[in-house]
Structure 1
Amino acid sequence: MDAERFLTDGVVRLRRFRADDPAIDFAVLWYQDREVLDGAGGLDEKPFDRTRIERMYRYLDTHAELYIIEVRDRAQWLPIGDVALAPHTTPIVIGHPGWRSRGIGTRVLALIIGRARELGYPAVWAKEIWAHNVRSQRLFERMGFRRVEEGVDDQGRSWYRYRLDL
């Protein structure tokens, strides 16, 4: 795999997703986790099965730059989540619970912001962050994003939209 397919700060590595990616096996575990599901789809989100994850990853890989988030664990890189960069959204999931609240999201978002600058994006967006997902709100606000919109989806769930002008 060539160097262009990685973004790294030495602690965190974002590896471009590939169709036969073994990280899908990890993702099946991540998307069973209640905290991940609450952040991804709201408080009533059902666990994702492998088929749904593969479909989601195919969509993101077609419409965005999809990365597997990896951290150095002993002598190897361990997949712990996923992130995508698209013109109007930046979904991020730290799927492995042991790596949450350890600064990984901040590092990931810094790498994604750098990549967006390279691509000439005028802004980076967090399309929908659920009102109950305070951890994500704090992450994006800490990185300089501004809350620019709020709304309620068709199921009555409140969300916020964030933007960082580049």
Structure 2
Amino acid sequence: MRSAPVVDGAIAGAVGSAALDIVSYLDMVLRARPASQVPDETAGRLAETAHVNLGAEPQAANRRSGLGALLGYATGIAAGAAFGLLAARRRIPLPVAAGLLGGGVMATTDGSIAALGISDPRTWRRSDWLSDLVPHLAYGMATAATLRRLRSPSRRGG
């Protein structure tokens, strides 16, 4: 039985999101850098904008942390699902798919943090850009490769 392209894409996006996290955590280990506060700040800003009360501290900080991580997964899974629909209609070479996925998710997240006033990517140093680019490329490659595997003729059945 064939699965829906959006489901395959969502699964691939979840795999890509895990790859992004793994690469980010490896970077933290190798360079002894702290975790980014951007996801927490993004969640807090979005909650404020939506007039959602996250409670008093320290519970609010814990909620921002959880919501920030969940927003990252939601973005990665949604991007994978959307790409699954696109990839169902045409065959996209793996390097192109990886670049589109990684670049698209990176542009979405960086555009969001800029629009929310959390950070200005125009002021980032080279190391900041690399810390952002490498995990997003890992996301793109893992998502594209997983989607290709899920949609391969030997896996389609029937």
TM-score bucket (shorter structure)? under 0.3
Please, what TM-score do these two structures have when normalized by structure 1?
Answer: 0.24
Q: Report the structure, 1 or 2, having the larger strand content.
A: 1
Higher relative contact order (CA 8 A, sep 6+): 2
Please, what TM-score do these two structures have when normalized by structure 2?
Answer: 0.25
Q: Report the structure, 1 or 2, having the larger helix content.
A: 2
CA radius of gyration, larger in:
2
